[in-house]
């Protein structure tokens, strides 16, 4: 038997980690929506539409740097509203990481800013919590569970 040890470089370890990164299941996405409710001072409640956000991230190249460039070039927000790249990374990690339960790292205000900057729509990543949306999410969950059986 040959007991050779291989030494991985930093970039090789990063590539291995990226390959191991799991995509969230539909069930996990729905569970996170239910457990992370955003509330504004107006009394309105929202869920974060992570699927729409990640579709947009992918359309901009899939990296936080490219999303940041898109935000910085947006004419729809003021300079002082521009989030840090760290905020963008945290939000992207929240959408991707399936290893542990996560709490949404931003408030509704930041999601409004991102919606305005990336889609020219402040509510682009906010889903109103209404009886109709609750019913739709419950139906989606039941479909996922019944298909898994």
Domain extent, residue 46, equals 24-148
How many domains is the chain partitioned into structurally?
Answer: 1
CB 69 within 8 A of CB 84: no
Q: pLDDT digit string (tens) for 55-84?
A: 999 999 999 999 999 999 999 999 999 999
> pLDDT: is 134 or 85 the higher one?
85
pTM of this prediction? 0.73
Residue 123 inside a domain? The answer is: yes
Residue 72 inside a domain? The answer is: yes
CB 137 within 8 A of CB 33: yes
Residue 19 inside a domain? The answer is: no
pLDDT band, very low/low/confident/very high, at 5 (cuts 50, 70, 90): very low
């Amino acid at each position: 038997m040959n007991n050779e040890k291989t030494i991985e470089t930093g970039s090789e370890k990063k590539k291995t980690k990226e390959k191991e990164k799991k995509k969230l299941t539909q069930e996990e996405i729905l569970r996170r929506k239910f457990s992370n409710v955003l509330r504004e001072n107006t009394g309105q409640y929202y869920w974060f539409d992570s699927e729409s956000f990640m579709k947009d991230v992918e359309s901009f190249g899939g990296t936080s740097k490219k999303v940041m460039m898109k935000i910085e070039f947006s004419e729809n927000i003021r300079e002082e509203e521009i989030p840090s790249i760290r905020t963008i990374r945290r939000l992207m990690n929240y959408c991707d990481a399936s290893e542990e339960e996560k709490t949404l790292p931003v408030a509704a205000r930041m999601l409004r800013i991102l919606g305005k900057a990336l889609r020219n729509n402040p509510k682009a990543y906010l889903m109103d919590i209404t009886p109709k949306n609750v019913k739709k999410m419950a139906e989606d969950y039941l479909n996922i569970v019944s298909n898994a059986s």
